[in-house]
Amino acid sequence: MRRARALATGIGAVLVAVLLWEAYKAVGGDDGTSLFGVRLLPRADDAAMPHVYDVLRRFGEPELPGGDPIGLVVLKACLFTLRGVAVGFGVGALVGLLLAVLMQRFRVVERGLLPYVILSQTVPLIALAPAIAGWGGRLSLGSYPWQPWMSVATIAAYLAFFPVAVGMLRGLQSPPRVAEELMRTYAAGWWHTLVKLRLPASTPYLFPALRLAGAAAVVGAVVGEISTGTRGGIGRLVIEYSREATADPAKVYTAMVGAALLGLAVAAVVGIAEFALNRRRAA
**How much is the pLDDT for 64?**
78
**How much is the pLDDT for 223?**
87
User: Which residues are bridge partners to 41 per DSSP?
Assistant: 33
**Inter-CA distances, 175 with 190, 196, 239, Å:** 14, 11, 47
How confident is the model over 250-278, as a mean pLDDT? 87
Alpha-carbon span 130 to 224, nearest angstrom: 8
**In sequence order, what DSSP letters do the residues of 25-53 get, joined into one string?**
HHHS-TT-EEETTEEEE---STTTS--HH
Q: Structure pTM?
A: 0.85
Helix (H) or strand (E) holding 185: helix 177-185
pLDDT digits 0-9 by tens, 164-182? 999 999 999 998 888 888 8
**How much is the pLDDT for 80?**
92
Helix (H) or strand (E) holding 171: helix 148-172
Q: Is the pLDDT of residue 101 over 80?
A: yes
Residue 80: burial class (beta carbons within 10 Å; 0-12, 13-18, 19+): buried
Q: Is the pLDDT of residue 229 over 80?
A: no
Query: Greater confidence, 143 or 249?
Result: 249
Rounded to 5 degrees, φ, ψ at 41 are -125, 150
Domains identified in the chain and CATH numbers: 1-47 (no CATH), 50-282 (1.10.3720.10)
**How much is the pLDDT for 1?**
60
pLDDT digits 0-9 by tens, 20-78? 888 888 877 767 667 666 666 777 777 778 888 888 888 888 887 777 899 899 999 99
Alpha-carbon span 104 to 42, nearest angstrom: 47
